[in-house]
Amino acid sequence: MKAYIYYLIKTKWLQTTVLAAIPTILSMTIIGLSTSYSNVNPHTYLPYPNILYTPVILMIIMVILLPIIRLSALKSAKDVDLYYALPMTQTKLYLSHLIFGLIQLIIVWTVMFFISLLVFIGIYPRVYINLWFLPLYLIGMIYISIVYTLNSFLFMRAHSIIDGIAFILLFHVALVVVPGASVIINYQLFGENIPFIINPFSGLITWANTFIILSNPAPYNYQIQIIFYDDQVRLISLILHTVIYISLTISSMIYTLKKMDTYKIENIGTLSHSLFGYRVMIPVILTFSIATLTDIGRGQSIGVIFMVIFTSFAMIGFFIYRRSVKLTKTDILSIIIPVILGIIISGL
Amino acid sequence: MIEIKSLTKYYGETRVLRKIDATIKDGTIFGLIGINGAGKSTLLKLISGMIRPSLGEIIIDESSPLFDESLRTKIFYLSDQPNYAPSSTLSDLAKLYQVFYPFDYQVFQEISNIFGVSVSTPFGNLSKGMRRQGMIAIAFATGAKYLLLDEVFDGLDPAARLKFKKLMIEYQTENRIFILTSHSLRELEDICDSFGMIDNGMFKKYGDLNDELHKIKKYQVILKSVEKVVLKENHPSYYQMTQEGRVLTLICDQTVDIQTYIEKDNFLACDESPITFEEYFLLQQEVQV
């Protein structure tokens, strides 16, 4: 396995370079050209360095992109005979690709973050407490590893590249739509509105926000007050969130490794019936996206228009799932029931 | 030695192979034949350990290719539809196999030269046949004891086919096993010493190729008249009989004499010849030879 990972590192260096260079250049350009920083510290009148979210946001794209690039070979009907005929177990083959992808991701994050930071420090020398950017880098590394592993898990549940991409996208759409509709639930649980707490990226952004606040050279007590007293709920939920996601990542990893050697490679290229994909994600997204119409279009025609649009997207999703316009009874029920549920929740 | 025991394979609800039993001894060039979709590629993939049997097992050198990684380094499977990045070269692909096999780069170069294939030309610029030749070079260079070559003659021109057959004979040793699938039965007949014919998911015929071909005889008889020949009463059974004008072709069991079918007075001359592998295959498929 080691030898194969070395082989991948050696032969894919150009790909790694390009993957690192594009977001780095983008990040450098955005930071270099940006002049106005909002959100001013009322004590020092110094703006918070929110521009450092740029590499974090670019990384969000990369953790979706990299599992697809790295694992596509293992789900391509054309490449099956090449990769799975290699004399190594399916688990080792998967692990090699997963680890190499993680190495690429860490390289991309490290290069982009530190070059972006250098550009930032070049523009604002000795203004911020640069030491706080180091934990930002480290927490970024942990979170991108978490999301990368989760995305890889989802991709591997599919039997084709297209389905793998769809599974990842559906999962992330669900993580936006579900919390969007569950504002009330959040409020009841946490006493305030933290709608995106279940989204893995919310943890990354919140941690980044914590260190960005601390990097502002305001009186130390003031910073501590912001983080630990004024927003205790957010802090507790953030820690909980991180623990839950680390556990989820470990579980998904163990599940994939346990299943990998018994995975039937002859299924590659066939329809993907996984519960982590179309069959569950589409109804969930449909239910909660219609439920969000509570705020947008209750009792108005715009609400109905949105409902038709969401339902059409759900149907397209099932067409893609079945690779056909002929849907089964279960598929049709998987659309009708969420629509009814969504309408009930939204009170349209 | 490869032992196949009660091997059954389902793809979903479809049964592709059912209860196949076979033993392939070391030093064999084994031809695997069958109509399209018979399950030849599936059997090769099962032997290589790529896919798992639904029932039964495959034992190679007293071990299973599913669980024994070191055994799998002795097996090389060449797909019937190899797919590689158009920008990568044969040399790049050789580097991949060097990671897993005791790869002999010199052998790879030599065989590539025999075929006249450039190892540094991107796959996108190579023809189907040239890619196949390059893959054959890689297969031999891996030093694998078990070479499983699917549709190996596909895309090869007559000169390349001849070169490949010479290579097979040159590289065949007492402890190696080559398993080839092909629809070019004439080519297989030249090099294979045993064979298996898959039909309806089972081995319809399996064994020594020469022995099997010599069990059947083909008579070509010049009749005295163009009238449809009348066979003797109580004649033995035959596989096939066709008459075109005064020429009668009769395929029957090796032990039977032509005069047990036709009166001597009814024909002028008779030529006896062994049947070819292709004719044998067609007979088994109940197709007119």
Decide if pLDDT at A273 tops 90: yes
HSE, CB side, 13 Å, CA atoms: give it for residue A329: 0
Residue B171 banded pLDDT, cuts 50, 70, 90: confident
Please provide the average confidence, as pLDDT, over all residues in chain B: 90
**φ, ψ for residue B267, nearest 5 deg:** -130, 155
Q: Are A7 and B99 within 8 A, CB to CB? A: yes
With contact defined as beta carbons under 8 Å apart, do A171 and A276 qualify? yes
- Partner A contacted by B52 (CB < 8 A): yes
Q: Are B77 and A85 within 8 A, CB to CB? A: yes
CATH number of B2-208: 3.40.50.300
Q: What is the pLDDT of residues B41-84, one digit of tens each?
A: 999 999 999 999 999 999 999 999 998 889 999 999 999 887 77
Residue B135 banded pLDDT, cuts 50, 70, 90: very high
Beta bridge partners, B17, equal: B9
Decide if pLDDT at A194 tops 70: no
Percent of chain B with pLDDT over 70: 99
DSSP label at B229? P
CA gap A80, A35 in Å, rounded: 50
CB proximity list for A186: less than 8 A, separation 6 or greater: A179, A192, A193, A194, A195, A197
CATH topology for B214-284 is: Alpha-Beta Plaits (3.30.70)
Percent of chain B with pLDDT over 90: 51
Residue A266 banded pLDDT, cuts 50, 70, 90: very high
**φ, ψ for residue A41, nearest 5 deg:** -70, 120
Residue B274 banded pLDDT, cuts 50, 70, 90: confident
Q: Are A265 and B51 within 8 A, CB to CB? A: yes
Testing the interface with B: which of A7, A81, A159, A272 to mutate, by most B Cβ within 10 A? A81
Q: Are B83 and A82 within 8 A, CB to CB? A: yes
Listed ranges A255-264, A273-282, B275-284; the one with the highest mean pLDDT:
A273-282
A39-53, A294-308, B57-71, B170-184: least confident range: A39-53
Q: Are A11 and B92 within 8 A, CB to CB? A: yes
- Shortest distance, CA A328 to any CA of chain B (angstroms): 19
**Better pLDDT: A103 or B67:** A103
Average pLDDT over residues A36-52: 63
For chains A and B, what is the number of CB pairs under 8 angstroms? 51
Cβ-based neighbour number of residue A163 at 10 Å: 26
Decide if pLDDT at B144 tops 90: yes
pLDDT at A202: 79
Q: What is the pLDDT of residues B99-116, one digit of tens each?
A: 999 999 999 999 999 999
Residue A299 banded pLDDT, cuts 50, 70, 90: low
- Which SS3 state, helix, strand or coil, does residue B104 take? coil
Q: Are B79 and A81 within 8 A, CB to CB? A: yes
Testing the interface with A: which of B60, B99, B132 to mutate, by most A Cβ within 10 A? B99
Cβ-based neighbour number of residue B113 at 10 Å: 12
Query: What is the location of CATH 3.30.70 in chain B?
Result: 214-284
- Partner B contacted by A2 (CB < 8 A): no
Residue A193 banded pLDDT, cuts 50, 70, 90: low
Place of tokens 């309408």: A343
DSSP label at B63? B
CA gap B196, B259 in Å, rounded: 33
Residue A224 banded pLDDT, cuts 50, 70, 90: low
Pairing of strands B2-11, B14-24: antiparallel
Query: What is the location of CATH 3.40.50.300 in chain B?
Result: 2-208
Residue A186 banded pLDDT, cuts 50, 70, 90: low
Decide if pLDDT at A38 tops 60: no
Decide if pLDDT at A287 tops 80: yes
Please provide the average confidence, as pLDDT, over all residues in chain A: 85
Q: Where are the alpha helices (DSSP H) in A158-216?
A: 161-181, 183-190, 200-215
Q: Are B52 and A81 within 8 A, CB to CB? A: no
Decide if pLDDT at A244 tops 60: yes
**Better pLDDT: B258 or B181:** B181
**Better pLDDT: A345 or A289:** A289
- Which SS3 state, helix, strand or coil, does residue A37 take? coil
This complex has an ipTM of 0.86
Residue A190 banded pLDDT, cuts 50, 70, 90: low
